[in-house]
């Protein structure tokens, strides 16, 4: 077939634009990869504050590089005056430059980000941006001389399991010594044999391990899968520094390394790669190959979420938007006001058939909400950059999103125009929302508990199976609620508004916080006991009679707002009564201020090998 654009592809101006765009992307990914690779040295030094700072800074890298590329295009090419024909030529040249590129999908997203800042949105069409990928990522591999492949395969026999696992671990060449690698490898082998129900190696028996460790918070995670016959078993091994529970002195050597657990199966990996946790630091030459491997371990996890978990959240956003467009084409239900108690600063809506919610900041708020749009956006950015410890949902932030107008319920359109009029624009058959956040949909905790109340869970006289299950649901929800708050406290986050409606229950029963407009750092708050009444008038007063500063928090006052139901109060006081004591909060604030970084593990405590060692020691001592 003859070339339809013989002259266009020879347009040197368009080629130079494409080259400048790719140069901007290369700079971005080089810096992204450098800070990700440096996570290994930070882990080896136990530089936890450095790890946290690098995590936050890396999130900002992308927008900085996009702004640089936009400035270059404007300075060198005066792009606002270019014809759409030139832009189409630039895109065709860009596609050509991505042949054999190791990160073509990320480069396409970068192209979209830059052109979206230069072109008017009416030109956001397939001719000028990558609505669909133009370059395949199938079978891309790192072919640089001396470079590591995406994963390594090991072929143990029954007799060489211990030696093989030892080689797998030592191949990562971590500088600090292990406390007792033989012991830890023994735990891994025992756990593996138990998981596989004994060990009968088949002809294809092998262990495949991704070549880079996954660094986050205070851990390094080895990720791979065991293949035996027709069975593939995903696994992750978290590697930690042994600590004695006290903050390390300045300049002190970090503790020795330990393998903390052996986690097998898809569910534990889904917890590790949860959208409610901070992004990993991983050194990847070919990200799509890592995503392909991880999808083989977690086939039900969207690729968008895997890219985001690897720190490539901008491409995750791009993939999510493609998924949304595809879903809209293949569905017919309508966008509606989300079920539950309406928020004071956010208007929340959803599409029943799609597992996400859309959140738009309102134009005005009740008097008790002393805030601004910019402050609210700042809170959401704080959460994006912070360690979410499995308790704060990640959000995708979008500008100028167009939805088909006919897919909205009339009540939703009326509320959007009333509460968010400055952010709404009608363009033909589309309704454009100028700024919104998107989060995974969860069951609001107040609704989760109300369902249990309605089933008889709060009635001790009801002894039916249905009521017994409801009581278990209440207990689980309340315990998880307290656990969520305590994990947030460990991460230096005070939720602010702790009402049940601001927490959600995930598919696996975890409670996650998702309302961020009042969050503060624990270290910025002043936790106080309510002063003793000065006289009878104070005691009988319905008003606050003592002084309250802007960052003052009185934990004992949480009870009346949270514990009006006797069944809820009983469970809460049994497991989390300390949350009503200012001393609890003050103690955590002091530890954080002293430089201590808490461990918040993405797996259950009973999975830790320390539990196994403790139990065995008790048996050996006859306890």
Q: Which residues are designated catalytic?
A: 394
For 335, list phi and psi in degrees, rounded to 5.
-65, 140
Q: How many CA atoms lie within 13 A of 21 on its CB side?
A: 33
356 touches 350 (CB < 8 A): yes
Pairing, β 396-404 against β 526-527: unpaired
Residue 399 to residue 422: CA distance in whole angstroms: 13
270 touches 508 (CB < 8 A): yes
Q: Which two tokens stand for residue 460?
A: 């001790």
- Crossing angle of helices 104-118 and 12-37, in 10° steps, is 120
Q: Which two tokens stand for residue 586?
A: 């003050």
The three-state secondary structure class of 263 is strand
Strand pairing partners for 324?
none
Residue 106 to residue 26: CA distance in whole angstroms: 10
Name the residue among 160, 9, 34 with its Cα closest to residue 92: 9
Q: How many other CB atoms sit within 10 Å of the CB of residue 508?
A: 9
SS (HEC) of 266-322: HHHHHHHCCCCCCCCECCCCCHHHHHHHHHHHCCCCCHHHHHHHCCCHHHHHHHHHH
């Amino acid at each position: 077939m003859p070339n339809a654009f013989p002259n266009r592809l020879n347009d040197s101006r368009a080629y130079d634009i494409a080259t400048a765009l790719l140069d901007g992307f290369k700079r971005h990914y080089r810096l992204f990869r450098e800070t990700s690779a440096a996570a290994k040295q930070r882990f080896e030094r136990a530089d936890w504050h450095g790890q946290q700072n690098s995590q936050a800074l890396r999130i900002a890298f992308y927008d900085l590089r996009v702004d640089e590329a936009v400035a270059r295009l404007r300075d060198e090419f005066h792009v606002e005056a270019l014809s759409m024909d030139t832009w189409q030529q630039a895109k065709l040249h860009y596609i050509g430059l991505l042949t054999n590129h190791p990160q073509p999908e990320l480069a396409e997203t970068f192209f979209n980000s830059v052109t979206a800042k230069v072109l008017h949105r009416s030109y956001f069409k397939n001719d000028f941006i990558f609505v669909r990928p133009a370059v395949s990522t199938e079978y891309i591999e790192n072919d640089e001389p001396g470079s590591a492949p995406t994963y390594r395969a090991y072929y143990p026999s029954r007799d060489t399991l211990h030696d093989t696992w030892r080689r797998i671990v030592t191949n990562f060449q971590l500088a600090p010594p292990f406390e007792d690698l033989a012991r830890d490898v023994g735990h891994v082998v025992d756990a593996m044999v138990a998981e596989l129900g004994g060990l009968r190696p088949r002809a294809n028996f092998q262990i495949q391990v991704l070549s880079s460790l996954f660094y986050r918070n205070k851990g390094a995670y080895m990720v791979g899968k065991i293949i035996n016959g027709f069975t593939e078993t995903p696994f992750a091994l978290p590697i930690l520094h042994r600590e004695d529970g006290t903050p390390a002195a300045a300049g002190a050597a970090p503790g020795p390394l330990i393998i903390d657990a052996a986690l097998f199966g898809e569910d534990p990996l889904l917890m590790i790669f949860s959208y409610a946790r901070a992004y990993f630091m991983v050194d990847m030459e070919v990200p799509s190959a890592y995503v392909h491997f991880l999808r083989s371990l977690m086939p039900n996890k969207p690729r968008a979420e895997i890219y985001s978990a690897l720190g490539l959240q901008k491409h995750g956003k791009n993939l999510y938007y493609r998924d949304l467009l595809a879903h809209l084409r293949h569905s017919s239900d309508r966008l509606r006001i989300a079920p539950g108690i309406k928020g004071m600063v956010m208007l929340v809506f959803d599409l029943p058939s799609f597992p996400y919610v859309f959140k738009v900041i309102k134009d005005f708020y009740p008097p008790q909400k002393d805030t601004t749009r910019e402050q609210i956006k700042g809170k959401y950015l704080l959460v994006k950059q912070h360690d979410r410890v499995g308790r704060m949902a990640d959000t995708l932030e979008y500008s100028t999103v167009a939805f088909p107008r006919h897919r909205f319920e009339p009540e939703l359109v009326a509320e959007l125009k009333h509460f968010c009029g400055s952010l709404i624009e009608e363009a033909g058959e589309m309704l454009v929302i100028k700024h919104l956040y998107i989060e995974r949909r969860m069951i609001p905790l107040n609704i989760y508990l109300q369902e249990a109340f309605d089933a008889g869970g709060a009635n001790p006289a009801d002894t039916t199976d249905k009521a017994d299950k409801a009581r278990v649901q209440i207990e689980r929800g309340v315990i998880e609620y307290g656990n969520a708050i305590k994990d947030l406290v460990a991460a230096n986050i005070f939720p602010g508004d702790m009402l049940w409606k601001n927490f959600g229950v995930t598919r696996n029963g975890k409670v996650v916080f998702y309302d961020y407009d009042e969050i503060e750092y624990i270290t910025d708050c002043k936790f106080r006991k309510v002063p003793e009444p000065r006289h009878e008038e104070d005691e009988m007063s319905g008003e606050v009679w003592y002084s309250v500063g802007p960052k003052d928090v009185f934990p004992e006052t949480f009870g009346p707002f949270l514990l009006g139901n006797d069944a809820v109060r009983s469970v809460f006081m049994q497991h989390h009564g300390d949350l009503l004591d200012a001393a609890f909060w003050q103690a955590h604030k002091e530890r954080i201020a002293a430089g201590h970084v808490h461990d918040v593990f993405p797996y259950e405590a009973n999975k830790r090998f320390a539990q196994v060692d403790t139990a065995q020691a008790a048996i050996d001592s006859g306890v």
